[in-house]
Structure 1
Amino acid sequence: MTTTTQINYRELAHGVLAGHQLTKEEALALLQAPDEDLLDIMHAAYIIRKHYYGNKVKLNMIINAKSGLCPEDCGYCSQSIVANTPVEKYAMLNKESILAGAREAINRKAGTYCIVASGRRPSDNELDGVIEAIKEIRETTQLKICACLGFLSETHAGKLADAGVHRYNHNLNTDQSNYENICSTHTYDDRVDTVQKVKASGMSPCSGVIMGMGESEQELVNVAFSIKALDVDSIPVNFLNSIDGTPLEGVQHLNPRKCLKAVAMFRFVNPTKEIRLSGGREINLRSLQSLGLYAANSIFVGDYLTTQGQEPTADWGMISDLGFEIEECAL
């Protein structure tokens, strides 16, 4: 298949289902397609999404288990040491608070509970406290547990796997060529190393991006293919929520149409993987949020780390209005 200005997107989708591996040139053509092609692109992405996931939508809920106090200088993050953002700062939550979050996840119809902590990496004591809560959640519910606690050693990865953590998230965030523009306290390779440790431990690897941080279209394509090469199971696609007080304050390169083409591109490049509409979807996709689910099969429900999401009832209604179904967590 070749890329031209007259791409047959549905033919390309059926080719992917028949085993065609999208090329970088084809992926770039999706991003650069004219806006009038948007509905054709989303329909083609839906052909792939429906083949692997039907009309099911997976809901995930985040708990910010440790807020602020982070020594890293990631330019997008309000919890960073360089951010001048009035966010709540607190040490790792106790077991009871984490368990209460699990109950709330079930109330929101989430099947996956995401325990997220700021900081470079967890201390031994912090990890042990989280693991104690995870074990009780696993014993008393059927929630799947995703942890996102920073960089991991092999020992810590093994402990989390043994405790029953299903999935571990560690985003690449942006292409290697753009990484030094976003962060200087760690490297892109450090992030890849943690994803590889997750895979080696037996946990399901989750790694995605934050688009809108000054990356070129080619760099966005490159990171989609880097994630493909890592063979992760879940890919969160975040959209920069430019937070006052962060180095990326005021940065706004996105519009809903660009975001949707990117989500579709990730589906074409990684056809079998969970694609999750993640942070910033409400303010960047705006009135076109529902179209994202024609390519993605997963969303966060409720708030994010330091920013608000929409009400769970709005997400449930959006899914229902599409004629889709929630993958509910069984008690």
Structure 2
Amino acid sequence: MLRNDWSLEEIANIYHSPLLDLIFRAAQIHRNNNDYAEVQISSLISIKTGGCPEDCAYCPQAARYNTDVDVHALMQVEEVLATAKKAKDAGASRLCMGAAWREVRNNRDFTRVLEMVKAVNETGMEVCCTLGMLSYEQAQQLKEAGLYAYNHNVDTSRENYETIITTRTYDDRLDTLHNVRKANITVCSGGIIGLGETNNDRIKMLHTLSTLPHHPESVPINALVPVKGTPLENQPRVSVWEMVRMIATARIVMPKTVVRLSAGRTEMSLPEQALCFMAGANSIFAGDKLLTTPNPSFEDDMTMFEILGLKARKAFKAGAASPFADD
């Protein structure tokens, strides 16, 4: 049964339960609500790289940090389409296009993004964008162009948020999610662990997502990849057990949501990733890079799928987004 009334105490009790019990419960819920052997393969490309005016402490694309990321202007539609077709041929059913913007502006760049969305949509792939803050009118334009999903992570708890980002507020994030949902686009929103947050911050982040009027159709769980030159460059890497605990808790409180095992997979062995799938993960990003950070290759992932008996989920299986019921 889907619930949007989880209490913090309930989620905390789930999160802190003995790990093997937690994995077992999550695996049961996963099998009761999803095809447990089916994994959505998404490909993520950076259509505009670097030079972002924001101060997200984890991000190598922020203009104020000295990282090895070079600034690249917005890609051409033909380049994106070629990349999309290559990803589709390799098994991806969704293409996510990321631009290092604070917010979408109504200009020629946005017009080009709308053209990208139309072109990729015509290949039969689900199209996702992550472009920063978005108005309802802009969300409507993206929907009309064929956008299937919009990613806008909440990142962490409301309380911890201001220690990570000061250039926009938590409510700015939630407003964008509201606009996306209202435009009848599916919502992709998750967070990052390893930012220096507490377990309570992780629990509160899951509480925020699981008590939205509709659960996000997709929740990425990222492990911080520390990048030299960013304020979080010296953060210790999170353990696989922390990832498993987050994935399992997300699966239990959002039973039908696609839970994506996202950044940090390059540090995981195949058995560790298998535990994440058992705990309820049913999506990955495939391809050599996640925007600017390393990621396992398509070939490695296909080998993993064969060993674990996993299969690729087809595009548009979930159907259209739910209408925004409260507006």
Fold shared, TM-score > 0.5 on shorter chain: yes
Shift of 1:175: 0.4
Matching residue's letter, 1:300: F
Correspondence for 1:58: 40
Output the TM-score relative to the length of structure 2: 0.89
The answer to whether the Cα contact below 8 Å between 1:212 and 1:239 also exists between their aligned partners in 2 is yes
Residue 291 of structure 2 corresponds to 305
Q: Is the 8 A contact 1:210 1:239 kept in 2?
A: yes
State the distance in 2 between where 1:19 and 1:202 align: 20
Among 222, 231, 240, the alignment partner of 2:224 is 240
One-letter identity of the residue aligned with 2:34: Y
Match of 1:49 among 30, 35, 50: 30
Query: What's the offset of the Cα at 1:22?
Result: 5.6
Q: 1:188 to 1:31 in 2, by over 3 A?
A: same
TM superposition shift of 1:240: 0.7
Spell out the pairing of 1:78-117 with structure 2 (5 A cutoff).
78-117=60-99
Structure 1 position 134, deviation (Å): 1.8
Q: Structure 1-normalised TM-score? A: 0.88
Q: Name the residue aligned to 2:257.
A: 273
Aligned to 1:38: 19
Structure whose residues are more often helix by fraction: 1
Match of 1:291 in 2: 275
Q: Distance in 2 between matches of 1:241 and 1:167?
A: 24
**Runs of at least 4 residues of structure 1 off by over 6 A?**
18-21
Whether the 8 Å contact between 2:225 and 2:264 is mirrored in structure 1 is yes
Conserved 8 A contact 1:172-1:209: yes
Q: Which residue of 1 aligns with 2:150?
A: 168
Q: Percent identity?
A: 34
Contact 1:49 1:297 in 2 (8 A): no
Are residue 118 (structure 1) and residue 100 (structure 2) matched? yes
Is the counterpart of residue 204 in structure 1 residue 189 in structure 2?
no
The question of whether the paired residues in 2 share the 8 Å contact of 1:106 and 1:329 is answered with no
Letter in 2 for 1:258: E
| Matching of residue 25 in structure 1 with residue 2 in structure 2 | no
| Residue 131 of structure 1 pairs with residue 114 of structure 2 | yes
SS at the partner of 1:236? strand
Give 2:173's aligned residue: 191
Q: Please point out which of 198, 203, 206 is paired with 1:216.
A: 198
| Uncovered stretches (5+) of structure 2, i.e. residues with no partner | 317-327
The root-mean-square deviation of aligned C-alpha atoms, in Å, is: 2.0
Q: Aligned pair in 2 of structure 1 residues 159, 20: CA closer, same or farther (>3 Å)? A: closer
- Equivalent residue number for residue 323 of structure 2: none
What is the number of residues matched between the two proteins?
310
Q: Which runs of 5+ in 1 are unaligned?
A: 1-16
